[in-house]
Structure 1
Amino acid sequence: MLTDLAIADNAYFAQHVTVPGVNGTLNAPNAPWILYGGSLAGAQTAFSLNTYGGDADGLLWGGVASSATSKAVLAYVQWYDPIQKFGPQDCVASINAIVDKVDLVFESGNATAVRQMKAVFGLETIADDRDFAATIAFPLGGPFNYPTNTWQELNWDPASGSDDFWNFCTNVTNLDAPENLTQVDYALAQYTGGEPWINLGNYANYVKQYVIPTCDGAPINSVQCFSTQNQTYWADTTNSVDRSYLYTTCTESGIYQAARLNGPTLLSRVVQVNYTQQWCTWAFPDGQYNKVPPTPNLDLWNKYGGYNVSAPRLAHIDGNQDVWLDLCFHSNDAPQRYSLTPQDAYLHPQQLITGAGHHWDSYGLGNISAEPQFIRNAHLWELRVVKTWLREWNATKDCA
């Protein structure tokens, strides 16, 4: 219902908008409305075209959906897959191995070992094991929110991105770390059969140096810092602008970041869908006019087609290193995408940008020639697609 209303707003706006000083016809369907959106807005672009686009009688003529998260799932364990695949492999291997050992300690039920493990990271006061697991994953990206920049915040344009992820991995794999850090690798070996936790000292030191200071002095086991276990905080309707996004995930789209139960994982396996679902229950208690379902109604999102959402003149453009890729048109779980004819390449355009992250085509430079080639050519592709649509519009109206 929420998404239905959002895309209905797009159609209504196109039909009724007025712009001071413009005397020409701007309203749909008498003008060629072309939408553009990235990420959640990309999904709404795709859903809008699917519902209000179509033939010459459609309200919306075309749309470009960039990294459109059009597929709803409950547990989105694929979030960390691009990091596993494309991240520095010595860093990735270190984190995978450390997380395996973290989970062994949790599974042991040894309260002393758990406290000691948390203390290595300077997080001994965090009461909830899932909060601890999410906190040490923050440099990679934790569920829903994180205080440092991650793989998702990488960008081809330094002015729009951050090198925090690369700095994190450089620190974790530092071969010249001082002895006081390398000795930490043995601090928990008694709980793993004498096997050291390679690069644990570097990892824990990064958390202490760069993650904990983001609390700005607030108690570590508080909602102002790393604890999420406060029902009153979540129920506060003024607590943040993230509340509307959380409502969307709680009711329709799901996509709760969770750990894979089998195989390598960069996020501890104690983090599963119940972690995020608890926030939904606390944030949106039953009221007179609203009731959040016990689990998101994914059909309200997927009814538009999921990663197969389609409409005439709906373009899909994604990045193959995007953490959200497997919710998008070019998902690894989707069929192989081909443009079989020149006509199909403009009626149902699709482009996968090699080496790109989350809606990287949304960023640009005033000096186009200074953009990296793979971005510049993505922009040129979008321009050709939209020009073709406009020529088709003009030809349709000339014949009318």
Structure 2
Amino acid sequence: MAIKTDEDMTRTAWAYAGPGIWGNSRHGVPIPDVESYEVKHKMTGEALPSLDTVYYFDQLIDHDDPSLGTFQQRYWMSYSYYQPGGPILLMNAGEQDASGLIGYLTTTTITGYLAEKLNGTVVLLEHRFFGQSNPYPDLTTESLRVLTIQQAIDDHEYFIKNVQLPMPGGDQLGPDKAPWILFGGSYPGALTSYTMYNKPGLFAAGYASSAVVQATSDFWGYYEPTGEYMPQNCSADVEAAIAYVDEVMGSGNATAIQALKETFGLGELTHDDDFEWALATVIQTWQNLLLSSGRGQTFNKFCLSLASKDGQIAGPDGWGAEHAISAWGAFYLNGPFLPSRCGSIYDSDEGRAACFNTYNSFAYGATNVNNWARSWMWLLCNEFGFWQVGGPATSPALVSRLLTPAYWERQCTYYFPEVFSSPPDTAAAASRTNQKYGGWDVPTERLIFLNGARDPWREVTVAAAASPNNGSDLQPHLFGDGYHCSDMLISEGDLSPAVKAEQQQALQYFAQWLADWKPTA
């Protein structure tokens, strides 16, 4: 199995993302590649439909008003390992086109691995308003009114109660007759927790990897794990560089500010906050690292460029701000990051400005379907926040402290002017989400939370330092040394005993809970 690099993901994303939303890094599970789609039943040897076979479910457009009818929600499945009595493992693909995630039907990933061990079936469900699962033929604000956390939760319930899976006995697998386990990583991990809290007893168990359960608008903690685990000489130089950047940007000296922008090849940017965000985007590539990534990833290349000077590598204190600014600027000017980040528009001065300009973007009016950036921004503006910003003065800064929630909330008015005539109060929206769905302090049983120390989203998961939830035997909190959703890939467990322990413990919990499960029909 191959893992897509952050460069690959950037190129793919640019076709859909506006300049602002890509900087506000979304979460998401690692994307596995599969070499073959041909499958057989492992017990009978019967040839089964290929894994890329698309199935359609008639999902309600609006669960509060069934009279509006249905739309076709896509799903994929494999029952290679199924035996009667085995569980149905339902994975929500979250904020992306689900067709790229069919590797989660195979044993290279946690869902396929557990299906094999538990004699289960895996179903991959596409989230409403992502990919081709759209209630309406566009992403206008009128259409997006039925894109909410609650509608996605209700999709889970309506799906498992009404779907007739295309497999032997597939019409007799409702949650009253067969145990269903809900899976998700990152936002779908939070959706797993939210669903089980909102619909108690519907699912027999749940698996929530890197689950971002605690919504927040002022998410400066996003950069904390990066600062803790990145090379010390790199963090020292990045902090020194950002301190210098903030000093210059706050000086009011237009000449010095313009010279600094030009050092990074970003002299065309009119707005200072766009420049500060442009610097943050390379720090966010930490999220794309995996234990199996090696030194070929953008973040590692960036740190190496800062650490290298005259054929030597910096000690733990780095080389200081002057060299860091020069090396960072050269990395942006001469390295692959900016062309990869911006795509073909990088080749012109106007294009470089458009790549990072959040004040006037062609993306704001793009209401075409399969535009994950717009759908995801709708959820951020209305329910989550999750704005990745500079930290308080008491915390080391890897990104400019001049980046605040207001920078992102302003963009809500550009994306959705019909709804937001002024920037929304996303702090209040996040608070409502936490109150309605439990946030950190969710009491749900038979729900496993799995997290990694290096995950930049760690501080909005139950593993956060501020989380009051320590877990229990019926709500295990499993913690490894991985990155974002590392436990979802079996290969990550092969490289880390701690991640492997998470995967094996999850199997043990599920086997125990399934042994106690009884049908109600």
Normalised-by-shorter TM-score class: 0.7 to 0.9
2:424 counterpart of 1:277: no
Aligned equivalent of 1:110, options 235, 253, 257: 253
One-letter code of the match for 2:331? Y
Cα RMSD (Å): 2.6
Match in the other structure for 1:182: none
Q: Deviations over 1:327-378 (max 9, x none)?
A: 1111111136254xxxxx2x2221111x21111111124xx98453222222
The answer to whether 1:315 aligns with 2:448 is yes
1:251-308 deviation per Cα after TM superposition (whole angstroms, max 9, x unaligned): 0011111101314211112211111111111101226xx9897223124421211112
Match of 1:167 in 2: 301
In the TM superposition, what is the alpha-carbon distance from 1:210 to its structure 2 partner?
Answer: 2.5
CA contact (8 A) 2:179 2:203 kept: yes
Deviates more, 1:13-22 or 1:233-242: 233-242
Look up the match of 2:75.
none
Which of 330, 336, 349 in structure 2 is aligned with 1:205?
330
Match of 1:129 among 272, 275, 286: 272
Matched to 2:290, the amino acid is N
Equivalent position amino acid for 2:286 in 1: W
The equivalent residue for 1:372 is: 496
8 Å contact from structure 2 (residues 214, 460) kept in 1:
yes
Cα pair distance change 1:138/1:232, threshold 3 Å: closer
Query: Separation in 2 of the partners of 1:264 and 1:123?
Result: 25
Q: Which residue of 1 aligns with 2:396?
A: 264
Give the Å deviation of 1:75: 1.0
Of 136, 144, 153, which aligns to 2:288? 153
Structure 2 residue 429 is matched with structure 1 residue 295: no
The CA deviation at 1:120 is: 1.2
**162 and 19 in structure 1: CA distance in 2 versus 1, 3 angstrom threshold:** farther
Deviation at 1:233, TM superposition (A): 3.2
Contact 2:409 2:423 in 1 (8 A): no
Determine which structure has the larger strand proportion and give its number: 2
Residue 238 (1) aligns with residue 368 (2): yes
201-210 or 18-27: bigger deviation? 18-27
8 Å CA contact 1:231–1:283 kept in 2: the answer is no
Q: CA deviation at 1:221?
A: 5.0
- Gaps (5+ residues) in structure 1? 142-149, 179-185, 187-194, 340-344
Distance 2:502 2:476 in 1: 12
Distance in 1 between residues matched to 2:325 and 2:158, nearest whole Å: 55
Q: In structure 1, what residue type is equivalent to 2:367?
A: T
In the other structure, the counterpart of 1:225 is 355
* Identity within the alignment, %: 30
| Offset from partner CA, 1:146-202 (integer Å, 9 cap, x none) | xxxx1111112349x962211110111102269xxxxxxx9xxxxxxxx96232211
CA distance in 2, matches of 1:321, 1:370: 17
TM superposition shift of 1:250 = 0.4
Q: Is 2:478 the counterpart of 1:351?
A: yes
Structure 1 contact 98–197 (Cα < 8 Å) conserved: yes
SS of alignment partner, residue 356 of structure 1: coil
SS in 1 for 2:450: strand
Q: Deviation above 6 Å: which 4+ runs of structure 1?
A: 290-293
Match for 1:90 among 233, 237, 243?
Answer: 233
Are residues 1:119 and 2:119 paired? no
1:28 aligns with 2:163: no
- Structure 2: which amino acid aligns with 1:155? L
The question of 1:337 aligning with 2:470 is answered yes
Aligned 8 A contact 2:181 2:203 in 1: yes
Deviations 1:18-38 (A, max 9, x none): 112322621112221110100
Measured in 1, the distance between the counterparts of 2:361 and 2:152 equals 29
Among 238, 241, 255, which residue is 2:386 paired with?
255
Residue equivalent to 1:15: 161
Structure 2 CA distance for partners of 1:45 and 1:369, relative to 1, 3 Å: closer
**Cα offset, 1:121, TM superposition:** 1.2
| CA shift in 2, pair 1:306/1:294, >3 Å | same
Question: Residue in 2 aligned with 1:361?
Answer: 487
Partner letter of residue 149 of structure 2?
T
Deviation at 1:218, TM superposition (A): 4.2
1:208-239 C-alpha deviation (Å, 9 max, x unpaired): 12333233334455575222221553132139
Give the 3 Å change call, closer, same or farther, for CA 13–80 of structure 1 in structure 2. same
Which range is displaced more, 376-385 or 73-82? 376-385
Deviates more, 1:67-76 or 1:293-302: 293-302
Task: Check 1:60–1:104 CA distance in 2 against 1; reply closer, same or farther (3 A cut).
Answer: same
AA aligned to 1:200 is I
Change (3 A) 1:314 1:258: same
CA 1:308 to 1:19, structure 2 compared with 1: closer, same or farther past 3 Å?
Answer: same
Residue equivalent to 2:55 = none
Q: 1:177 to 1:220 in 2, by over 3 A?
A: farther
**What CA distance in whole angstroms lies between the structure 2 residues aligned with 1:139 and 1:267?**
10
- Aligned pairs for 1:386-397 within 5 A: 386-393=510-517, 396-397=518-519
Equivalent position of 2:222 in the other structure: 79
